[in-house]
């Protein structure tokens, strides 16, 4: 799976709460261009959260397509994600898009990639972007050894990633369901 050096997005579902967060850094090559970008969007009348890593224009295109699929499949997040991944893999235009999506709802967390992957992690933690694996490791430990809420875990894990990954900053936005 291709990792993008652009951001860090982390989603956690715990005790009926879904949280998705991201840092605010926008990087062009090795230059920081923006510190407070919003990379998390509410979709499906607020019943799902979607975050992106990769090329911004590509990610916005994919989020729009995902939202169309959500509408087409009446809010069925998993079906919409699978159909998006199929289109993304087979469509000549979409195939060139370089981004990944992390999606959370009250009871499911999904990662969608241009390779045709729709992954639903068993621990209901999803992470993408250059600092994704740092945030994922921190979230796993916090989930296991703390009493923090899903939103608190996301914020703390992203803070940890920002201290390690040069493509991740501490301007963190967390949304919850």
User: What band does 51 get if pLDDT is binned at 50, 70 and 90?
Assistant: very high
Active-site residue set = 7
74 Cβ neighbours under 8 A, 6+ residues apart: none
In a domain? residue 74: yes
- Structurally, the chain folds into a number of domains equal to 1
| Whole-number pLDDT of residue 26 | 86
C-alpha span between 3 and 80 (Å, rounded): 23
Whole-angstrom CA distances from 114 to 78, 88, 102, 139 are: 16, 6, 12, 25
Mean pLDDT of 34-59: 90
Domain span at 87: 8-176
Is residue 14 included in any domain, yes or no? yes
Assess if residue 40 is contained within a domain: yes
| pLDDT exceeds cutoff 70 at 1 | no
Higher local confidence (pLDDT), 4 or 7: 7
* Residue 171 located in a structural domain: yes
Mean per-residue pLDDT over the chain, rounded: 91
What pLDDT shows up at residue 6? 66
pLDDT band at 5 (very low <50, low <70, confident <90, very high): low
Is the pLDDT at 4 greater than 70? The verdict is: no
The continuous run of DSSP H or E covering 87 comes out as helix 77-90
- Assess if residue 1 is contained within a domain: no
Instruction: Report the distance separating Cα 173 and Cα 22, nearest Å.
Output: 6
What is the domain-level CATH number for residue 146?
3.60.20.10
Please say if the pLDDT value at position 55 is more than 70: yes
Domain contains 3:
no
Query: Would you say residue 88 lies in a domain?
Result: yes
Q: Which of 51-60, 87-96, 108-117, 159-168 has the highest mean pLDDT?
A: 159-168
Q: Is residue 2 part of a domain?
A: no
Strands (E), 55-156: 99-105, 108-113, 118-119, 125-129
pLDDT tens-digit series, residues 120-148: 999 999 999 999 999 999 999 999 999 99
* pLDDT tens by residue, 78-125: 999 999 999 888 887 777 778 899 999 999 999 998 788 999 999 999
Q: What is the mean pLDDT of residues 23-27?
A: 90
């Amino acid at each position: 799976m291709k990792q993008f050096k652009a951001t860090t997005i982390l989603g956690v579902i715990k005790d009926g709460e879904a949280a998705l967060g991201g840092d605010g850094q926008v990087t062009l090559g090795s230059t920081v261009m923006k510190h407070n970008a919003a990379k998390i969007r509410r979709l499906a009348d607020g019943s799902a959260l979607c975050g992106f890593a990769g090329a911004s224009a590509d990610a916005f295109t994919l989020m729009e397509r995902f939202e169309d699929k959500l509408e087409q499949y009446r809010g069925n997040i998993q079906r919409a994600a699978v159909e998006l991944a199929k289109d993304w893999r087979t469509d000549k235009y979409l195939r060139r898009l370089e981004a990944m999506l992390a999606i959370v709802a009250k009871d499911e967390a999904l990662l969608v990639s241009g390779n045709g992957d729709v992954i639903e992690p068993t621990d209901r933690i999803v992470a993408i972007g250059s600092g994704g694996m740092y945030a994922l490791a921190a979230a796993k430990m916090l989930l296991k050894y703390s009493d923090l809420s899903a939103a608190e875990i996301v914020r703390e894990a992203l803070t940890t990633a920002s201290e390690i990954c040069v493509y991740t900053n501490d301007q963190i936005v967390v949304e919850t369901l």
